[in-house]
Structure 1
């Protein structure tokens, strides 16, 4: 298969899958078979693509040029390959999980759910492979629109309100700020292509570069930097597979991925470092890390606690991007992967608890680990990876982020990272401890094992095992992160 054909296939296959899901809607078994087949093919193809990319093959594709000099085009570089690899693999795992969850919880409108899920992955792949800001912006907006039906899936007043917040903040920030940043970049340079070393040097007064970076930082609302973070907790009204998609696979990762793309390929790390472009802005990321962690400590609702944890963890990646040093950028890129596998494990566990025992609150989990040992063990592993302890993959990304802070002599930011890890312990570790060691309340006695459906358990076992494997074998993501920092 030629490079162009392979790239186009990956972009179009999820859309074909969505069509197949709608066509087979009257037969749930066939419909879910289409979902699994499509997601398995995507996972296999992105692995093939990654291998061919690492062997030195180039991938580029231009579809149309609606405005002279601005085309809808795609080009694979290392950072995009890393993002696509995570999204492709985790779509398959999430699909396995979603089938068990949707059936186990007897959810309505499952065809719409799986179809929108597939379209959102198509948008994610478009973001990953975008060759310029114009193409990225189109797919960024498509991702927002395609995930809206997932957020409002329940159809309740609470779900509709959450959807309004979700759509309002993400569309508002992208149109008012992100698009403005793209237009300013185009007016200054006459182009919006992603290039190693950036395209702004020599085209903008360094005194104004910080303002332009701020347009991107706050305009890319999916990165959830405070104060534009409220959409993310609001979206927790969605079913747990959607929460997993939002927090680990597609939406939030699309946000921080875009921040990294703009940093590396529009501004350029040398330009940022030599002109202190992100000087004051970096403290917005630092504040988000700490404030979101402290808010997470106050949440008794398990998904809400995990949501604010995600807000905090995303700003690790934003902080690494704004450090702009080699180690900081590598740490930020690796944290996209390490956080994805750990956080999706935590959400999978939260959904399993809800399906099996209909419990949503941390205070209700005392002793439940005795009835759900697999679920709470997976949660424990995901927790330790989020904290950044060995032997779990999350250690490596935090290590490089810390090195980035040291490289740039930002010792206060190093302290922020260390304090945040301590806060991670405070709001996450008590959950598995409650499950395994606390005495059940309300007279409940957990004497028999009663786990969630097998497909849910399988997905959790895969992602929690990956958290361990990535400690011993982080090479694929490390190599891609290193290549991204070094260029195409």
Structure 2
């Protein structure tokens, strides 16, 4: 079933092959993208349901694509974390393509075949990264994801886009080549393997100092997780069209970063090293990022940049949970990856709809617009509640389990970390819910003409918002599925590196 990663590539290849014969008005690129995304989502749902139900027709791997280095193959497999990430990415890729079909036309964007082609390559790289069976395979597709999303960031090809693209590419390449890759080599030197293995692969005799430095290299080196100081690429990437911003924040890039860190902690370090790990100082990197990014978001008037700094803060919730080195922390991370994805994509969808309808890009311009665009601002308000962690949204549960994992951890500064989360929640409510309040409560300025939002954009917003509400009502299936994540029985037969 690993061929599932090829579905977006096929759609991208068809788009590229047909593009010389298509006019600018042709809807073929959108139809191919939406069709491929819908098929992708259906196949992933089938795979997940098959694995969860124990259907033997659905194989879980491993699959070896090649072995470019002796003893280190490019290999793939299915496990709970990878299936969760791939399922969320597939569903939201469909929502993104549906949204883009309306947005790109309404905003007068050109070069649509190229746009949908790279969008397909990027989601394919995301899925391949999700199913990676070792660090080598993960690194290859991590880099491919960076390279395939860069054309999306600079899509408009003006000077602002090029400048943002340089920052985007420069930081992500520098951190991955300078820290992520050396960390992988170091793991191989220490353990003789780069395979994702239950219990981790780091030898028990490894010193705490070495473990701490290695962990720090991964936390900063996986720059897509946007932990400060490796965060500037994310606001810089907001020069991209709004569907790309939504894609980066909820579907692919940033979620790929925190997902990669989660797998590295669980299957490379393992939880048993926590007693030897001097990581009690490393965990303060995401804690500080949570607060600083929230404070910056409060000062941002540009709506997309405010959402970007919100994402930086929320990603560090996930990193903090993972660095607790506990099953409870990992479960909370998986919950928040899911809850935040649906909420944040809704916020970006709303920002794009506001731009299309009114050409407004600043929070200060939104006074009274809630009564003129009720659907958009209701969706924005619901998504904001989820990011803050309030009912009736799924974000409540991920914040609940995050707080629970902190309180039950052995970390001596647990209550301080819990205080960081609570203060951040207060800041989140100010800079996110404040948008909805001014849109519905303040008087309308009356100098803005409101246009209709394309139906495909509205449909995408409703899908994401509906999922956010549904996850509040039905959190237990996700919780129980994540609870089946095995800490000790991941296949030991994965040919993903010398042991």
User: TM-score, normalised to structure 2's length?
Assistant: 0.94
CA-to-partner distance for each residue in 1:107-135, whole Å, 9 max, x for gaps?
A: 01111111100000000001100000000
Using the TM superposition, give the Cα deviation of residue 30 of structure 1 relative to its aligned residue in structure 2, in angstroms.
2.0
Equivalent residue, structure 1, for 2:236: 234
Distance in 2, Cα, partners of 1:439 & 1:151: 36
Using the TM superposition, give the Cα deviation of residue 430 of structure 1 relative to its aligned residue in structure 2, in angstroms.
1.1
Equivalent residue, structure 2, for 1:7: 2
Distance in 2, Cα, partners of 1:388 & 1:225: 21
Equivalent residue, structure 1, for 2:73: 71
Using the TM superposition, give the Cα deviation of residue 243 of structure 1 relative to its aligned residue in structure 2, in angstroms.
0.2
Greater shift, 172-181 or 29-38, is seen at 29-38
State the aligned residue count. Answer: 478
CA-to-partner distance for each residue in 1:218-258, whole Å, 9 max, x for gaps?
A: 00000000000000000000000000000001000000001
Using the TM superposition, give the Cα deviation of residue 451 of structure 1 relative to its aligned residue in structure 2, in angstroms.
3.7
Q: Structure 1: where are the runs of 5+ without partners?
A: 1-5
Equivalent residue, structure 2, for 1:341: 342
Distance in 2, Cα, partners of 1:352 & 1:468: 20
Using the TM superposition, give the Cα deviation of residue 435 of structure 1 relative to its aligned residue in structure 2, in angstroms.
1.1
Using the TM superposition, give the Cα deviation of residue 390 of structure 1 relative to its aligned residue in structure 2, in angstroms.
1.5
Of 89, 92, 95, the residue aligned with 1:90 is 92
Equivalent residue, structure 1, for 2:441: 437
Distance in 2, Cα, partners of 1:251 & 1:471: 25
1:107 is paired with a residue whose SS is coil
Distance in 1, Cα, partners of 2:38 & 2:279: 40
- 1:371/1:450 contact within 8 Å kept: no
2:221 matched to 1:219?
Answer: yes
Equivalent residue, structure 2, for 1:3: none
CA-to-partner distance for each residue in 1:293-324, whole Å, 9 max, x for gaps?
A: 00000000000000000000000000000012
- 1:329/1:485 contact within 8 Å kept: no
Q: Structure 2: where are the runs of 5+ without partners?
A: 491-499
2:33 matched to 1:35?
Answer: yes
Greater shift, 23-32 or 155-164, is seen at 23-32
- 1:293/1:424 contact within 8 Å kept: yes
CA RMSD, 1 decimal: 1.3
Using the TM superposition, give the Cα deviation of residue 203 of structure 1 relative to its aligned residue in structure 2, in angstroms.
5.3
Equivalent residue, structure 2, for 1:311: 312
Using the TM superposition, give the Cα deviation of residue 155 of structure 1 relative to its aligned residue in structure 2, in angstroms.
0.6
Using the TM superposition, give the Cα deviation of residue 445 of structure 1 relative to its aligned residue in structure 2, in angstroms.
7.1
Which is helix-richer, 1 or 2? 1
Equivalent residue, structure 2, for 1:251: 253
Distance in 2, Cα, partners of 1:207 & 1:125: 34
Equivalent residue, structure 1, for 2:16: 22
- 1:201/1:267 contact within 8 Å kept: no
- 1:152/1:160 contact within 8 Å kept: yes
- 2:207/2:276 contact within 8 Å kept: no
User: TM-score, normalised to structure 1's length?
Assistant: 0.96
Using the TM superposition, give the Cα deviation of residue 480 of structure 1 relative to its aligned residue in structure 2, in angstroms.
3.5
